[in-house]
Structure 1
Amino acid sequence: MPETVSPLGLLLDVDGPIASPDTRTISTPSIITDLITLAGANVPIGFITGRSAQFISEQVVTPLVAAGLPQEMRMYGVCEKGAVWFPITAAGMGDIVVDASVALPEVVAGRIRELVASDYADSMFFDETKLAMISVEQRTDVDRSRYHVAQASFEAAAYTILVEHGLGVRFGDLVSPDATGAVPFRIDTTIISTDIESVDLDKDHAAERAVAFFAQGGPLPRVWRSVGDSRSDYKMADHLYAAGFDVAHVDVRPADGILDRGYPVIVEGDLIHDEAGAAFLGYWVQKLGLAEPVSL
């Protein structure tokens, strides 16, 4: 790996800025080519996501490898908000590490699986690819508004199951400690899913792990950008800001509310989701002088 310091580092949420929240795939071809171009310019790229390693393998890494990732680069995946991590090379994903200490009991996962199958299969599905957290996701053939009605009912039922099993859990304003008084789990709502997860999992811890990995491969850039569509994605930039980097966060769904932070928050005009993500990546390819010259 060249010892020159990259002018930029990237921490990217996947659902929203990279993969379409509707198709759950990378639907904009320029995202693939621009990621490859930036990686080849020694830009460290971390995918910081609640998605599973299998999802990232199929929907992100496989198309990147097929399009030709560079042999020398720094690319890393931190999935399930910090519970699962792995390097990414030109050959694909490296060894996957799972933090079993933050996993939910299998008996609880089984109860949630049964709940979805019996009462909610017409609007959502149990994500069998998760290795530590529990996730239940909107079916792609179901209208978003209809899903959200079912989601609210499902989450209330899931909370009851966790309480019945004695797990300390937080769900919105509801808090049920375990027998020791601890609350180690939470129910987290997104626009296309519900995650039941350890409170030790979040995007700031995941960002810290990715940056530590990048530091092993060469000098770190001073300038970083994080990109996401949820309020929790700001925690990637929170970590970078606290660590002293020059950071800004790109919010690709600002309608949910732009958070007040000590660092700049960027929006891509009226563009949202992966269209905003594509515009952001294209901007940096141009800014760094990496774009192919246009032949007249």
Structure 2
Amino acid sequence: MTGESAQSGHEAIIAPLGLLLDVDGPIASPESRTIAIPSIVDDLLTLAHAGVPVAFITGRSDEFMRSQVVSRLVAAGLRDSALVFGVFEKGGVWAPITPAGLGALEIDESVALPAPARAAVEELAREHYGHAMFVDDGKRVMVSLEQRVDAPAEVYRAAQTAFQAAAFALLGSLGVGIRYGTRVVADASGDAPFRIDPTIISTDIESVRLDKDRGADRALQWFSSHGVGARRWYSVGDSRSDYLMADHVHARGIPVAHVDVRPADGVLEREYEVIVEGELVHDHAGAAFLRRMVVEELGL
């Protein structure tokens, strides 16, 4: 069964492939923060309706996913037979995706930033850095500050760097154990259970237990519980941390490949296959990969 079995004890249905998809970059445009290429929706549905298990594994909130991704799939005719799953906030929140929309949320409160610390750092961002970033109010276990779409990249980068340094100092002063790059401030117990994690369009303040490997594990467990596996999984992402999805699958002894849609940041050496889509990047590379899967794997 290619390293997988259903939790029910029955032999799993093994699909030709399975997808573990980051959202920002390969699916949603980093510029518009929406699905800008219509074929992405069409090909996702074609794959899902052919029995391919599809999971979105993202740092985004369930609110963002509901409005920008789930609504598009539902409007385009997502069927009840499709197995589509969402893992949000890097594994802190998860839910099935159905023709009725996003299903019941499950939240891991054990990884949530303490409420007083969350309020303080969000106030810092709004008061001093609102010209370049905004607070994502949809987050449930982490704090996320995202680049305003009207903020030039150079303005945002300067504000992001300043905010991260200020947030590190503030959280440390509040007794929160926090990591920022190589800098660490421990809490009263000597631990540093949270980190500041920057991306090209955002800064996340999150539990060190949250990452894309945790999200991949959530997804594989959910598919297994529904009696579905895959001969080979493909993870797709634009950040070096997205390789953790494939790392987790590979560590379980399951065939996997990773599709890097921003290889200019440096393609990582791995024991499994790493794929790039020629000179294409971001959602253009994501769209090309999905179309190739429809043609090569499904023969459509």
Instruction: Give the AA of the match of 1:43.
Output: V
**Is 1:226 aligned to 2:235, yes or no?**
yes
2:148 corresponds, among 136, 139, 151, to: 139
CA deviation map 1:212-248 (0-9, x unaligned): 1001222311211000000100000001101111111
**Is 1:241 aligned to 2:280, yes or no?**
no
Give 1:27-66 correspondences, 5 Å limit: 27-66=36-75
Instruction: Give the AA of the match of 1:213.
Output: W
Distance 1:60 1:21 in 2: 14
The answer to whether the 8 Å contact 1:109/1:134 transfers is yes
Counterpart secondary structure, 2:213: helix
Please report how far the alpha carbon of residue 146 of structure 1 lies from its aligned counterpart in structure 2 after TM superposition.
1.8
CA RMSD across the alignment = 1.2
**Is 1:105 aligned to 2:114, yes or no?**
yes
Instruction: Give the AA of the match of 2:219.
Output: A
Distance 1:110 1:218 in 2: 42
Please report how far the alpha carbon of residue 111 of structure 1 lies from its aligned counterpart in structure 2 after TM superposition.
1.2
Instruction: Give the AA of the match of 1:253.
Output: R
Matching residue of 2:197 = 188
CA deviation map 1:29-61 (0-9, x unaligned): 000000000000110000000000000000000
**Is 1:130 aligned to 2:107, yes or no?**
no
2:271 corresponds, among 252, 262, 280, to: 262
% identity of equivalent residues: 56
Please report how far the alpha carbon of residue 260 of structure 1 lies from its aligned counterpart in structure 2 after TM superposition.
1.1
The answer to whether the 8 Å contact 2:117/2:176 transfers is no
Please report how far the alpha carbon of residue 290 of structure 1 lies from its aligned counterpart in structure 2 after TM superposition.
4.9
Matching residue of 1:166 = 175
Instruction: Give the AA of the match of 1:49.
Output: T
Segments of structure 2 that go 5 or more residues without pairing to the other structure are 1-11
The answer to whether the 8 Å contact 1:37/1:290 transfers is no
**TM-score, reference length from structure 2:** 0.95
2:22 corresponds, among 13, 30, 46, to: 13
Q: What is the number of equivalent residue pairs in this alignment?
A: 290
The answer to whether the 8 Å contact 2:22/2:236 transfers is yes
Instruction: Give the AA of the match of 1:104.
Output: L
CA deviation map 1:261-293 (0-9, x unaligned): 1111110111000000000000000012353xx
Of 18-27 and 88-97, more deviation after overlay is shown by 88-97
Counterpart secondary structure, 1:178: coil
Distance 2:292 2:81 in 1: 23
**Is 1:82 aligned to 2:54, yes or no?**
no
The answer to whether the 8 Å contact 2:122/2:143 transfers is no
Matching residue of 1:294 = none
Matching residue of 2:280 = 271
Counterpart secondary structure, 1:166: coil
**TM-score, reference length from structure 1:** 0.96
Distance 1:290 1:115 in 2: 53
Counterpart secondary structure, 1:226: strand
The answer to whether the 8 Å contact 1:268/1:280 transfers is yes
Distance 1:55 1:262 in 2: 34
Segments of structure 1 that go 5 or more residues without pairing to the other structure are 292-296
Distance 2:297 2:242 in 1: 25
Counterpart secondary structure, 2:217: helix
Matching residue of 2:4 = none
The answer to whether the 8 Å contact 2:133/2:145 transfers is yes
Matching residue of 1:204 = 213
Please report how far the alpha carbon of residue 114 of structure 1 lies from its aligned counterpart in structure 2 after TM superposition.
1.3
Runs (4+) of structure 1 exceeding 4 A deviation are none
Please report how far the alpha carbon of residue 10 of structure 1 lies from its aligned counterpart in structure 2 after TM superposition.
0.3
Please report how far the alpha carbon of residue 151 of structure 1 lies from its aligned counterpart in structure 2 after TM superposition.
0.3
